[in-house]
Amino acid sequence: MTPDEVLEELYLGPDKFFRIVDVAVLRVLRDRCVVFVRVSGHPPASFADTWNQPKGSGPFKQLESLAIQVE
Protein backbone atom coordinates (compact mmCIF):
# COMPACT_ATOMS: atom_id res chain seq x y z
CA MET A 1 0.00 0.00 0.00
CA THR A 2 1.11 3.56 -0.52
CA PRO A 3 1.42 5.85 2.50
CA ASP A 4 -1.77 7.65 1.42
CA GLU A 5 -3.67 4.35 1.19
CA VAL A 6 -2.50 3.37 4.66
CA LEU A 7 -3.61 6.70 6.11
CA GLU A 8 -6.98 6.31 4.40
CA GLU A 9 -7.44 2.93 6.10
CA LEU A 10 -6.22 4.12 9.52
CA TYR A 11 -8.31 7.29 9.69
CA LEU A 12 -11.67 6.52 11.27
CA GLY A 13 -12.78 10.08 11.95
CA PRO A 14 -12.04 12.93 14.36
CA ASP A 15 -13.40 11.12 17.45
CA LYS A 16 -12.64 7.46 16.76
CA PHE A 17 -9.20 5.82 16.74
CA PHE A 18 -7.70 2.36 16.61
CA ARG A 19 -6.47 1.65 20.13
CA ILE A 20 -3.06 0.30 19.07
CA VAL A 21 -1.28 0.66 15.74
CA ASP A 22 1.94 -1.39 15.56
CA VAL A 23 4.65 0.11 13.34
CA ALA A 24 8.06 -1.35 12.39
CA VAL A 25 10.64 -0.54 9.71
CA LEU A 26 11.42 -3.67 7.68
CA ARG A 27 13.56 -2.42 4.84
CA VAL A 28 15.41 0.74 3.82
CA LEU A 29 15.71 1.32 0.09
CA ARG A 30 17.44 4.14 -1.74
CA ASP A 31 14.19 6.05 -2.35
CA ARG A 32 11.83 4.76 0.35
CA CYS A 33 11.35 2.65 3.47
CA VAL A 34 9.15 -0.43 3.74
CA VAL A 35 7.16 -0.30 6.95
CA PHE A 36 4.98 -2.93 8.66
CA VAL A 37 1.71 -1.51 10.03
CA ARG A 38 -0.96 -3.47 11.92
CA VAL A 39 -3.96 -2.40 13.98
CA SER A 40 -4.92 -4.30 17.11
CA GLY A 41 -8.10 -6.33 17.37
CA HIS A 42 -9.53 -3.96 19.98
CA PRO A 43 -12.68 -2.05 19.07
CA PRO A 44 -11.98 1.58 18.08
CA ALA A 45 -12.25 4.11 20.91
CA SER A 46 -11.61 7.74 21.81
CA PHE A 47 -8.08 9.11 21.59
CA ALA A 48 -7.89 9.08 25.41
CA ASP A 49 -8.33 5.29 25.31
CA THR A 50 -5.48 4.60 22.88
CA TRP A 51 -2.14 3.01 23.80
CA ASN A 52 -0.27 6.38 24.19
CA GLN A 53 2.95 4.90 25.62
CA PRO A 54 5.25 6.75 25.76
CA LYS A 55 3.02 9.71 26.43
CA GLY A 56 2.30 11.68 23.27
CA SER A 57 2.67 8.75 20.84
CA GLY A 58 -1.08 8.14 20.72
CA PRO A 59 -2.09 4.77 19.35
CA PHE A 60 1.28 4.14 17.66
CA LYS A 61 3.43 1.41 19.19
CA GLN A 62 6.92 1.08 17.74
CA LEU A 63 8.04 -2.49 17.24
CA GLU A 64 11.73 -3.32 16.88
CA SER A 65 12.49 -5.44 13.84
CA LEU A 66 14.90 -8.33 14.41
CA ALA A 67 16.66 -7.28 11.23
CA ILE A 68 16.25 -4.31 8.89
CA GLN A 69 17.29 -4.90 5.29
CA VAL A 70 19.27 -2.04 3.80
CA GLU A 71 19.64 -1.88 0.03
pLDDT tens, 6-64?
999 999 999 999 999 999 999 999 999 999 999 999 999 999 999 999 999 999 999 99
Q: Quick check: is 56 in a domain?
A: yes
Q: Quick check: is 50 in a domain?
A: yes
Which range marks the domain in which residue 17 is found? 3-62
Q: Quick check: is 53 in a domain?
A: yes
Q: Quick check: is 58 in a domain?
A: yes
pLDDT of residue 53: 95
Q: Quick check: is 10 in a domain?
A: yes
Q: Quick check: is 33 in a domain?
A: yes
Q: In the chain, what is the straight-line distance between the N-terminal and C-terminal CA atoms, in Å?
A: 20
User: How confident is the model over 52-64, as pLDDT tens digits?
Assistant: 999 999 999 999 9
Q: Quick check: is 24 in a domain?
A: yes
Task: Kindly state the helix (H) or strand (E) to which residue 69 belongs, with its residue range.
Answer: strand 69-70
Q: How many domains are contained in the chain?
A: 1
Q: Quick check: is 68 in a domain?
A: no
